[in-house]
Amino acid sequence: MKNILLIGLGRFGRHIAEELNRMGHRIMAVDSDENRVNAVLAYASNAQIGDSTDRAFLTSLGVDNYDAAIVAIGDDFQSSLETTSLLKELGARHVISRAATEVHEKFLLRNGADEVVYPEKELARWTAVRCTSDHILDYIPIDGDISIFETTVPDGWKGKSIIALDVRRRYGINIIGLKKNGAIELGINPETLLDGDMSLYMVGDIKAIKKCLHF
């Protein structure tokens, strides 16, 4: 369990609060809008109404006591930038800030953010990859073009074993797990025969995945 300082409780921030709560973390939720604060009380361990660009207010929160600080302000970049910078000055251990454009991303990184999330860009990429092929059910970017993909089993693979397909040698892709009837199995057997009732978890480059799945 981690202690997270979450600043900015619009739609993006509220979803973060819900997910952090579901994962069992403790959340200090902060926003200048009372209605937004009230909307996340069910998910937060504590909450404050205040201006995150006010040094005295941020100091009162004891920002250095949190494992991470998330700046989810999306409608006022100046406030996001000032908040990010102040958090780092006050000793925040790890600052994650939201960007709306690539320019915002660069400024945030230069002014104290340890990491920047760019939800619109990430969602756009996910949507583009997802709609590229009916085979792809989900994917998680890891680094650069390397991602974990959840895919259906192509017709030509059904009834064949993982070792017989030999996708590692042929395409540079690793099959790391299976999912069947909602259960995920990571300790897979190379002799396992594939069928249409399961999905595969594969790690590889998007270009190799395209070539492998023929789309």
Q: Classify each residue of 127-162 as buried b or exposed e, where b means 16 or more C-beta atoms within 10 Å of its C-beta.
A: eebeeebebbeebeeeeeeebbbbbbbbeebeebeb
In this structure, CATH architecture of domain 122-213: 2-Layer Sandwich (3.30)
Q: What is the pLDDT of residues 46-68, one digit of tens each?
A: 999 999 999 999 999 999 999 99
pLDDT value at 165 more than 70: yes
Q: What is the CATH number of domain 3-117?
A: 3.40.50.720
- pLDDT category at 33 given cuts 50, 70, 90 is very high
- Report d(CA 102, CA 48) in Å as an integer: 30
- Mean pLDDT computed over 172-180: 89
How many Cβ atoms sit within 10 Å of the Cβ of residue 69?
30
**Mean pLDDT across the stretch 68-76?**
92
More confidently predicted of 186 and 43: 43
Any idea where the domains of the chain sit in the sequence? Answer: 3-117, 122-213
Which one-letter amino acid corresponds to residue 127?
T
Q: Is the pLDDT at 90 greater than 90, yes or no?
A: yes
Comparison of pLDDT for 40 and 185, the residue scoring more: 40
pTM: 0.70
Domains 3-117 and 122-213 in one fold:
no
Which phi-psi region, left, alpha or beta, contains residue 73 (left: φ > 0; alpha: ψ -120 to 50)?
A: beta
* 3 state DSSP class of 102: helix
Whole-number percent of the chain with pLDDT over 90: 53
Read off the pLDDT of each residue in 179-202 and give the average, rounded to a whole number: 88
